[in-house]
Amino acid sequence: MQKATKNRSETGDFIAFLIKLGLFVLILRSFIVSPFNIPSESMQPRLMVGDFLLVAKWPYGYSKYSMPFSAPVIPGRILPNRPEPGDVVVFKAPPSARDDYIKRVIGLSGDIIQVTDGLVTINGVSVKRTKVDPLIHKVSPNSPCYKPEFETINADQEAVCRYPQFEETLPNGKSYKILDLEPNSAGDTRGPFVVPDGHMFLMGDNRDRSADSRWPAEDGQAIGMVPQENLVGRALVSVFSTDGSAEWINPVSWFTASRWERIGEGF
């Protein structure tokens, strides 16, 4: 009898532990940080397919979109804060607000945004754009070259992609690098757009691979103007990255596929 009571006590303690652990994870993911993985090339060069990062939940306040599965337990948004131009944000993409997207904030309520021949203008002021050293990265399953003409061989006889790269500096002083792979593409001349109250104008850093606020919202496609209400959080730090070459049956490849140099990069 004493042994059965002890077994029931140990089982109860284990179940209580699991409940506490579940509550801790729920609170952590809802109010502090949550994981996010990069599925597309739209935020190159800063983010690449196979990157995993943590998203901070607290910078912009909390809404139902802060909760797992967008559980409607928070009315509206509490402790709201506006993002800053240049922030890299995760949000629920319009119009259905089902899928998580990641883009960079370019303009906020009342701003007038125009793109002309690839150059961004905010309220009549051109965003400073300077050509810098090209982006060079190894060809891998997660990172093939956009087009054959961008592929070359480096000194180690490895296939690499070589992309023209630019640095933009917003009026608030925030700088970041972008790619512009196709001059005179469909997205290079758009607008002007007036950002509605409570909304954001977002763009991908890889300008020719990003369906963003330059086009009307359509599920699975462009996002249009995004309500600040849809914010999930702000990109915080990269915690892992893989080039896609790992094989489950080959544990060694789990390490060789890791892009260690990308781990720990903040925003």
User: According to the model, what pLDDT value does residue 184 have?
Assistant: 86
User: Is residue 39 one of the residues assigned to a domain?
Assistant: yes
Q: What tens digit of pLDDT does each residue of 199-244 get?
A: 999 999 999 999 999 999 999 899 999 999 999 999 999 999 999 9
Residue of 69, 74, 39 lying closest to 53 (CA atoms): 39
User: Is residue 239 one of the residues assigned to a domain?
Assistant: yes
Band of residue 63 on the pLDDT scale cut at 50, 70, 90: confident
User: Is residue 215 one of the residues assigned to a domain?
Assistant: yes
Whichever domain contains 61, its CATH number is 2.10.109.10
User: Is residue 161 one of the residues assigned to a domain?
Assistant: no
Is 103 annotated in the active site? yes
What's the total number of domains in the chain? Answer: 1
User: Is residue 171 one of the residues assigned to a domain?
Assistant: no
Q: What tens digit of pLDDT does each residue of 105-156 get?
A: 999 999 999 999 999 999 999 999 999 999 999 999 999 999 999 999 998 8
User: Is residue 162 one of the residues assigned to a domain?
Assistant: no
- Cβ pair 114, 125 in contact under 8 A: no
Which whole number is the average pLDDT over 172-180? 96
Is 70 annotated in the active site? no
Radius of gyration of the chain (CA): 22
Is this model's pTM higher than 0.85 or not?
yes
User: Is residue 156 one of the residues assigned to a domain?
Assistant: no
Residue 232: which domain range?
32-119+190-262
Catalytic residue among 57, 66, 92, 103: 103
User: Is residue 20 one of the residues assigned to a domain?
Assistant: no
Catalytic residue among 34, 42, 66, 213: 42
